[in-house]
Amino acid sequence: MTRPVRLAISGASGRMGLALLGLVRDDERFELARAIVSVGSPRLGKAVHGDLSALRFTDWTDAAGVDVVVDFSGPEGLAAALDHCEESGAALVTGTTGLSDALEDRLTKAAERIAVLRAANFSLGVAVLTRLLREAAAALPGWDLDIVEAHHNRKEDAPSGTALALGHAAAAGRGATLDELAVYSREGRPGARKAGTIGFAVVRGGDIVGEHQALLMGQGERIELGHRATDRSIFARGALEAAAWIAGRAPGAWSIEDVIASKRG
């Protein structure tokens, strides 16, 4: 697009939403057209400065003209954002996780009519980690594999969407699905580990932004692949790159890997 992309941020009062608002004000690629938050949100006014009288901060009423919606809300907020996108034809970029099967199905079907880009994590480093893990899991099919993730104590879903995405990549590298290989808990006396399974461990505490580690364990040796985020803005920057890239894009299910590939030429 030659003009600025008219952007709506769904979940604007959340941590990711506030990071997006802080960045988009100084990004000439975008015009902030909408900031969707819960009614009475106490955090928005502290983070946004300037004349915001033209913006709506509560709902999608009269939100025509939006090119791209960036959503980091929750399942209910994502469903409302998807309603708007399907009605208006706006593209959708979302990092919301912890979705029901019904909402997952809605997103899949929506990609037949609008451009949808989903990512459990918008970090370039995590995209590279995912690729490395897929290759390592394929090269070492007999090694045990566990994925350990840590996040702040307010995160509601577990394992994280990024951990699950890593699990899907590892399972694909071994020619299987995560449903076939995943083990989400071990307690009591579960017995010896079943060969080929992918285990998950979850840590929740403090203000951890996001940490993911994949352990591939063989006899007498171990490979550790990991990523640690210390600044939430890396995810917001990645989401804005995705929003700029997807504006005007044809309907389809796109990924952060598509954005990265386009930058490599």
Between the alpha carbon of residue 181 and those of residues 100, 130, 203, the distances in Å are 20, 17, 21
Instruction: Report the C-alpha gap between 47 and 42 in whole angstroms.
Output: 10
DSSP assigned state of 17: H
Instruction: Report the C-alpha gap between 225 and 43 in whole angstroms.
Output: 36
Closest CA to 164 of 215, 204, 130, 207: 130
Question: Can you say whether the dihedral through the CA atoms of 246, 250, 256, 257 is positive or negative?
Answer: negative
- Amino acid in the structure at residue 172: A
Please say whether the beta carbons of 13 and 36 come within 8 A: no
Catalytic annotation on 227?
no
Catalytic residue among 151, 168, 212, 227: 151
**DSSP conformation letters of 76-132:** HHHHHHHHHHHHH--EEEE------HHHHHHHHHHTTTSEEEE-S---HHHHHHHHH
Catalytic annotation on 212?
no
Closest CA to 228 of 213, 243, 245: 213
Active site residues: 151, 155
